[in-house]
Amino acid sequence: MIVVFGSLNADLVFRVPSLPRPGETVLAPDYTVVAGGKGANQAYAAARAGAPTRMAGCVGDDEFGHVLLSSLSGAGVDTQGVLHRETRTGCAAIAVDAAGENQIAVAAGANQEARAAQVPDDWLTPDTVLVLQMEVPAAENWALIARAKQAGGRVVLNVAPAAPVPPSVLEFVDVLIVNQTEAMVVAEAAGVPETDPIRAIRSLARGFGMTTVVTLGADGAFACVGDEEWEVPPLKISPADTTGAGDAFCGVLAAALDAGLAFTEALRRAGTAGALACTRAGAQTAMADAADIEARLPEAPPVRRATSKRGNRHEA
């Protein structure tokens, strides 16, 4: 069982010829409103990949909130842990350029009121994979992580957006997922003196006894599992919108782990799902289901063991 504790946002997506620079106004011909939020996106991705998934978080009692819940329910996510608050539903303004790159501003809204207590004790068992991000109050994340570990569950923490994580919390994390910027923020806060994201996640993995993954955009991903290091080459695609790629990667990785797949196979599926999410517009609207992932897996390069500072690789 996947339990996702995190954010739900309405995404206002503006397709622009180029991303605005400071002080610049860029005109878009129109905009769309789609379901988003890192927590909801990852729950959606996990459910679409076939995992039984529950979501806990907060929305406002407004039209955006109803749209978000409808989207999750349509994917098969159990939303009984999502509560309505008087605060407005969280909202993100997303500009996407012609190359599919994006620029995002987020108003937290009701996400600020998400509480760990919304996740009942009977949701946290040795069979639970708890998935968290950083768009809800950090203290609530830390409290829920402690409860999950006490119950014997597995914790997947995606430190997005970038924020410090106390070393005492990292001790409880089983799988840490970060992008290159997030890797450096987590490493610095943990007292890891590294200047490169790969070296940072290597040191974090060894220092805290956890699995670490850094996503590398068009270059795929890199993972450390104890003394083993793995490269995840990218599936070749023509990107249209990268908005939900990281969330698709996280949700599908969690789903694959929940299904008991080997970690290298989980990485390959997650990398494929992340790439496929870049081929369509939006976040949840772009996410592949299990059949889509299976269909494209034969095209995905094998995960490769990395040796000698990412050189001299061999396939796994």
Catalytic residues: 247
Which residues on neighbouring strands pair with residue 43, listed in sequence order? none
Number of alpha carbons in the 13 Å side-chain half-sphere of residue 50? 14
Any idea of the CA torsion for 143, 257, 133, 46, to the nearest 10 degrees?
Answer: -120
Which burial class, exposed, middle or buried, applies to 115 when counting CB atoms under 10 A from its CB (0-12, 13-18, 19+)? middle
Instruction: Say which residue the tokens 């014997």 belong to.
Output: 152
d(CA 205, CA 239): 31
Distance separating alpha carbons of residues 72 and 37, to the nearest angstrom = 11
DSSP designation for 119: S
Q: Which two three-digit tokens encode residue 90?
A: 């969280």
Task: Tell which residue, 243, 247, 246, has the closest CA to residue 93.
Answer: 243
* Type of residue found at 110: A
Distance of CA 135 to the CA centre of its chain: 11
